Amino acid sequence: MIDLELDDGLAVLTIDRPHARNAISLATMDELEKALDAAAGALALVIRGAGEKAFVSGGDLKELAAIRTEEDAAAMAWRMRGICDRIAGFPAPVVAALNGHALGGGAEVAVAADIRVAADDIRIGFNQVTLAIMPAWGGAERLAALVGRGRALMFAGSGMVLDAVEAQQLGLIDRVLPRPAFEEGWRALARSLATGPAGEVKRVVGEGGSADDAVRAFARLWAADAHWAAAERLTARRR
């Protein structure tokens, strides 16, 4: 089950499958596609899992065990890779709120987001090798972009699982919060992203961003009513 909360520009997508530790099934893929469609136009998107044990525990092994041929395995991988590509390409900032462990395919979903915020007691790892397979949803490439080719090979090739602090030190997680402050912390960050020009910043810092892109985006924002209203509020406070 996928829950989608829409609140004044902020979309919060929650994967809620407690019986399967929020694992991704084929039906979950259908629901993710629909939820991403419904979130179109949001100024920030959060992806999280329900509960405190798992963000996403990967693919639903019980269901996906029915896939036995190379062709069917490739079709499943291409489909979920496409969903992760949609997450990565979402026009507004995307936050993965790691409420629980992000393992295997769950780590691949996490790195599709722009920003990863984690509770301090979670673990993250590309441990598909324990099943004698490898990441196929785009996670290996995105991992390499985050931590470098050598570390990506070490992590995904060995199945190493990191705690939140280790992952933050290596650049895999952006912010670690104490468990009691986690819910409030990720919501505050997401809300700040949804109420500012973070979408323009995302476009500039993304691949292919240029000086011309940055200046044009700045100029659009400068000329907009929102800038002058904010400047007036700041001036009034200083008075």
Tell me the pLDDT band of 235, cut-offs 50, 70 and 90: confident
Provide the pLDDT for residue 111: 98
Q: Find the mean pLDDT for residues 46-58.
A: 96
pLDDT of residue 137: 97
Dump pLDDT digits (tens) for 191-206. Answer: 999 988 999 999 888 8
* Cα distance between residue 164 and residue 145, in whole Å: 19
Domains delineated in the chain:
2-193 (3.90.226.10), 208-238 (no CATH)
Report percent pLDDT > 70 for the chain: 99
Q: Over 80: is that where the pLDDT of 65 sits?
A: yes
pLDDT for the residue 208: 65
pLDDT at 206: 80
Instruction: Report residue 45's pLDDT band, with 50, 70 and 90 as the boundaries.
Output: very high
pLDDT of residue 154: 97
